[in-house]
Amino acid sequence: MTISIGRRRFNRALGASGLAVAAGTLGAPLPLRAEAARVVIVGGGPGGATMARFLKQDAPELGVTLVEANPVHTTCFYSNLYLGGLVDFEDITHGYDQLAELGVEVVQGRAVGVDAESRILELEDGTTLDYDKLVLAPGIAMRWDAIDGYDEAAAEIMPHAFQAGPQTRLLKEQFMGMREGGTFLMVAPPNPYRCPPGPYERVSLVAHQFTQHNPTAKILILDAKPSFSKQALFEEAWRTHYPGMIEWVPGDFGGKVVAVDTDAMTVTNEDGEVFEADVINCIPPQQAGLVAAAAGATDESGWCPVEPDSMASTILPDVVVLGDASLAGDMPKSGFSANSQAKVAAMVLRHELTGSRLFPVRYRNTCWSSTAPEDTVKIGANYEPRDGRITSFDGFVSEVGESDELRREQRLEADAWYASIIAETFGTS
């Protein structure tokens, strides 16, 4: 410990000159106490930002640094409601001021590499940050090689909008400006991917816009999968609210897209059939955010294996992986999951670094999906480490044919959840 403090101090002094450090976070001189360990977190989404908050709030003596590539974070959750015209873009975009106020050192920069043996994180601009514990919560990266012709440039023409921000705005502009009676085509990804019900909630809320602005428009989903999350519920909603508008093609019946052509605005399935559309929302296969692979925290699947009782990397020492980037057993890749994992992992990290109490580990998830402004369904489960794996036990899912009143109440519930997770992640408590 003593040696690393010298090193830590040196690097931090060096680092400060080249970094945009949020004001008011490092007023005090460096702590001389050996126990003031330093945790560096990569990624300020629900995984990383929740970790930063809970660590700093519960163990103010720890040095907590949050490295985030962007000045603000637009949440993917509720981005479909933005597409559907139910919330504003500003409502889903959040900054890091309040985390900084809490004492989290917020560094704007992109992490590109990790020296796990020396415990050093490297940023794109060449800065290095020393850590005692590193938390990787970088979310997902698209597999640009997976669909022929679908690369970063193609995503500017056929947006995925599965990382919220400019992509989300672009997709909305495209389908709101679509010609009358045109076709919106979604390429839905194979498992595992971010937010299992996300593509189908999106289609529902795009259909909601079309019923008002372009009632003869059509929506076609070409899906790599044979079935999808909450399928019966979505299909019920599509029949009820958007009869005849949405067609879903499963993987075994021509849904597997292998190539796109951005000039012709077409996609091609594995049987060689070509589909033309006016707007193409291409959601490709995914992998852990690139820094995870650069760090060496991923396995052959492209995701990060973790210990089920701590979210610690099973590959790298002193590294924790949270959220979508992790292989979290039965847990879906959701914002709710990332937030839940972060709280558990913060409890364990705090125990390791400060000797605080260790409590039983349990994770939770609930995902609401709005199929129309006042028709919201949900699914949820509990999770526990069992036999070396995060395993679900008990759960619930909405039922087909529920009352309109319940579905309306669940929309209010979803709104309240959004307010809560945002307050907890980016806000004041």
Partner 1 sequence: MPARPFVPRPFVENVAAEAIVRRGWLKGRTLALALLLGATTALPNAAAGDVEYGAYLAQDCSSCHRNNEDIAGIPPIAGLPTDYFISALTAYKEGERDHSTMRMIARSLDDEQVAALAAYYARE
Ligand X SMILES: Cc1cc2nc3c(=O)[nH]c(=O)nc-3n(C[C@H](O)[C@H](O)[C@H](O)COP(=O)(O)OP(=O)(O)OC[C@H]3O[C@@H](n4cnc5c(N)ncnc54)[C@H](O)[C@@H]3O)c2cc1C
Binding site for partner 1 (CB under 8 A): 54, 336, 339-340, 343, 347, 357, 359, 362, 364, 366, 378, 380-382, 393-396, 398, 409, 411-417, 419-421, 423-424, 429
Residue 424, contacted partner among partner 1, ligand X, none, CB below 5-8 A by kind:
partner 1
Helix (H) or strand (E) holding 220: strand 218-223
Which CB, 245 or 328, lies closer to partner 1? 328
Give me the 320-349 binding string for ligand X, x by CB under 6 A, dash otherwise: ---xxx-------xxxx-x-----------
Strand stretches in 140-245, DSSP E: 140-142, 183-188, 218-223
> Considering only residues 69-88, where is the footprint of ligand X by CB under 6 A?
69-70, 73, 76-77, 79-80
Q: Does 67 bind ligand X (CB under 6 A)?
A: yes
Which CB, 267 or 361, lies closer to partner 1? 361
Residue 44, contacted partner among partner 1, ligand X, none, CB below 5-8 A by kind:
ligand X
Smallest distance from the beta carbon of 263 to ligand X, in angstroms?
27
> Considering only residues 200-239, where is the footprint of ligand X by CB under 6 A?
202
- DSSP lists the bridge partners of residue 305 as 327
Burial per residue of 272-285, b for 16 or more beta-carbon CB atoms within 10 angstroms, e otherwise: eeebebbbbbbbbb
Smallest distance from the beta carbon of 314 to partner 1, in angstroms?
24
CA-closest candidate to residue 186, choices 242, 254, 243, 257 = 257
DSSP state of 178: P
Q: How many CB atoms lie within 10 A of CB 129?
A: 24
CA-closest candidate to residue 79, choices 406, 335, 428 = 335
Which CB, 68 or 424, lies closer to partner 1? 424
Contact in structure between 141 and 149 (CB atoms under 8 Å): no
Beta strands 363-372 and 326-327 are unpaired
Of 137, 288, 328, 381, the one binding ligand X (CB under 6 A) is 137
State the amino acid at position 393 in one-letter form: F
Pairwise CA distance, residues 199 & 157, whole Å: 18
| Residues that bind ligand X in the complex, under the rule CB under 6 A | 42-48, 67-70, 73, 76-77, 79-80, 110-111, 137-139, 162, 194-195, 198, 202, 289, 291, 323-325, 333-336, 338, 367-368
